Amino acid sequence: MVRFALVGVVNTGTYYACYLLLLPWLPYVAAHVLAFAVSMTGSFFLNCRFTYNTRPTWRKFLLFPLTNAANFVITTSGVYLLVDVLRLNSTYAPLIAASAAIPVTFVVSRTIMLGGPARESRRDSRPSRDSASTNTNESLGESVARTTPTA
């Protein structure tokens, strides 16, 4: 979980740096969306490598945004609960809600990246019925290598 949190710090820094770099040339919403996409992509690869030590696949890449959705739902619900129900100061409520979301986001992320031990072993032991072009378990590197023409 410590490595997950460290990747989150790097992800936040990447987002903010990209946002600030894009802001002079783009409307703030476009800068936000592009910076978010860049940071989430970087977060995916960092989590694959450093947090879970797993191979990046298209399936994992396409499911990875669910970790952000889980985080959003938990923090938004948490802020509402803390401010409107428990009457906490709205200045500190997002920090508390965000810290409460870390374990749940970690579990969602871990499930996406590792797929659970039983599911992974079944997937690796059976032959793939997918064609090469639709194999979502193929690593991103393998996909690029397969589709790159050789001289």
| Amino acid identity, position 34 | L
Name the 3-class secondary structure at 57.
strand
Residue 99 C-beta-side C-alpha neighbours within 13 Å: 5
CA distance 49 to 4: 11
Phi first, then psi: what are they for 54, rounded to 5°? -130, 160
pLDDT at 11: 86
Range of lowest pLDDT (34-48, 86-100, 108-122): 108-122
pLDDT at 130: 40
Cβ atoms of 21 and 5 closer than 8 Å: no
pLDDT at 73: 85
pLDDT digits (tens, 9 = 90+) for 8-55: 889 888 988 998 899 999 888 888 889 888 989 999 999 999 999 999
